[in-house]
Structure 1
Amino acid sequence: MKALVFTGPGTVEMREVPEPEPGPGDVLVHVVTSGICGSELHGVKTPGFRVPPLVMGHEFAGRTDEGRPVIVNPILSCGECDVCALGLRNVCRKRRIVGVHTPGGFAERVAVPESALVALPEGLDWTAAGVVEPVANAVHAWALAGTPKGARVGVIGAGAIGLACLQVAVSGGAGRVEIADRSDSRRAVAAGLGADAAVAELTGEYDVVFDAVGAAATHEQSLARLRPGGIAVWLGLADPVSGFDAADLVRGEKRVTGSFAYRDADFAEAVELVGGWDLSWVSTFPLAEGAEVFTALMNGRATPVKALLAP
């Protein structure tokens, strides 16, 4: 079968690969749509725990052999540890992720555990199905912020995760949502999705700031723009350096929390939310064009904001 394969630093290639062999409890999913994530772009450009050769793709949906339309929750936890017992499968110490630790959805077919399948609701199209996973990240971040209705919300980064944070905050009843990005085109998209302001850099004071970039500079900005007692939720993974003013954190009694992936309830809520959203920022390309699209995005092309690959 055909698959987009991470073959080495900075390189992805379309290749013929062996058919997946489902193990006990696994189901074969015929991929219909699979999203390219910013973490994959970074992971290929600067390799770390993703080990080539690897078929990536952790944001995908498709049909089982018998035709069931499904979305895949790619987090595979042990289900037995103290953390899993608390309902925190997303931060299980032994977690694995489809498309990171096992072959993923940048292929015509992939084998995943039956337990990872979530039914695609009737009426939800494949574009929406392809962005459920990143939207679940935003739902989780909003929950960590306390789902603060009426809040002044700032979002740093108008990529897919930042736009999802914007839309979740608007859907969740935020009082005002402003978003910052260096790209004119992405700011225009954000304005069209309901941002009260789309700017190059946040300048106000906010109850909540979502950092969907994760660079040292955006960490610093997320804290600097918080009101005393506010909360910054960090989703981005661009840079491990913290970069913030710890004294300001203490004196302002500000809070920072990391937000990694999502809980099962967040994933289910994302399925319910995304069907009613404007997804004009999502574009679909044939899997055969995957290497070209992936490489262009990896090298800094700002559009599309979100690319889905369709075998």
Structure 2
Amino acid sequence: MSRTVVVGVDESSESLAAAEWAAEEAKARDLPLRLVHAWNWSPHPASDVPLGATSAGAAQHARARAALDRAETRVRGACPAVPLTADALEGPASTALLRAAEQAEVLVLGSRGLGAISGVVVGSVAQSVAAAAPVPVVLVRAGTPTAHPHGPAPEDKPRADVVLGLDLSDPCDEVVDFAFAEAALKGARLHVVSTWRSPSLYTLGPGELALAARPQRQEEWHGFQDAVLQTWRGKFPGVEVTATVVEGRAVTPILAATEGACLVVVGRRAPGRHRSGHHNGLVTHAVMHHARCPVAIVPHS
């Protein structure tokens, strides 16, 4: 099966925003778009069965088709030339979405916004799928300013950044490559944000204390970040890169950089020989809930 951009849709406004974002992504990648809606049969009172439906199962399937039809209408209006399929999948939502992701380049889901102060509600389905999907998962909420995420921006409006939260203690090729590729697709500047932390003073000897406190450490981390990015600067010469390295915890500067951005990219470690289960790390979890733009969670080894 050919690769696609897959978007999960339901009856929410967030999923409509996700569908439109996914359509723009499919257009930029020159890929078809697949809308999927998962429904799980459960008995309903007779009063909940729409007029004309022969059973509760038929009613649920009708709701699934209605959700897909609404999303398809939204997509056709935004990107009429994008090849499109729509499928109602029976079964638990997480299972169905993960199965659909196996043939996807990117999986896009909606998340519910509560505003800049309160953050974002990321539902249990989105959290579990983002933690287990074999491909990057992008979370989009209704009303999120995307600032011309694909294609040329109007001359009177600046191009929004793609933000990359880069962990210098464990820089991962998959995450960096995805961020550069997205910036290239969107014609956006890439803002790379990294942090470093001094070791605990209680663990250092007298000679090490002077080394830990020296002002050159900031420049050394800048140099290391630049070395990490060198390969991708050559691979994506058209992408303008701005880099930030600050001392402290990673969450605060990454979230600050998402103000006005069109996408933030963070990593999620996939299960391996020494790691079991599917988890989003603490930084990724915080960015998922509090970023002011769509969030891409990229699995890496």
The normalised TM-score by structure 1 is 0.25
User: Greater helix share, 1 or 2?
Assistant: 2
Which structure has the larger Rg over C-alpha atoms? 2
Higher strand share: 1
TM-score, with length taken from structure 2? 0.26
